């Protein structure tokens, strides 16, 4: 899976423990115990290897953000959730969110 610079660095530093994705066909195949390689978009040679610890299923990004602390996504707990939602909607559309739902992938670096 690919990650932009900010999320990649936060994951590499151990600050980001939950990756957000749509619960699309590709993500429906992810299982607890799976290994995932995250690749940095700006430098595809840079990778992070993780194991899936837990899968967190939500109907919407808002529902996920209501339940999980911002620190799980690599942000300070007082980070504005509305700003974060706007960042998410630059990647995924509200139509995709409605169609697929949302998956939080709790990871641990290996």
Q: Give pLDDT, residue 11.
A: 98
Domain that holds residue 36: 2-109
Overall domain count for the chain:
1
pLDDT of 3-24, one tens digit each?
999 999 999 999 999 999 999 9
C-beta separation of 4 from 43 below 8 A: no
pLDDT of 33-87, one tens digit each?
999 999 999 999 999 999 999 999 999 999 999 999 999 999 999 999 999 999 9
CATH code of 69's domain: 2.30.130.30
The span from the CA of 80 to the CA of 93, in Å, is 20
The pTM of the full predicted model, rounded to 2 decimals, is 0.95
């Amino acid at each position: 899976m690919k990650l932009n610079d900010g999320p990649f660095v936060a994951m590499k530093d151990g600050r980001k423990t939950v990756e957000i994705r749509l619960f699309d066909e590709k993500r429906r195949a992810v299982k607890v115990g799976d290994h995932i390689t995250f690749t940095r978009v700006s430098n595809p040679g840079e990778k992070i290897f993780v194991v899936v610890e837990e899968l967190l299923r939500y109907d919407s990004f808002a529902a996920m953000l209501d339940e999980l602390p911002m620190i799980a996504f690599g942000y300070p707990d007082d980070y504005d959730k509305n700003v974060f939602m706007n960042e998410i909607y630059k990647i995924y559309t509200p139509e995709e969110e409605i169609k697929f739902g949302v998956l939080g992938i709790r990871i641990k670096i290996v």
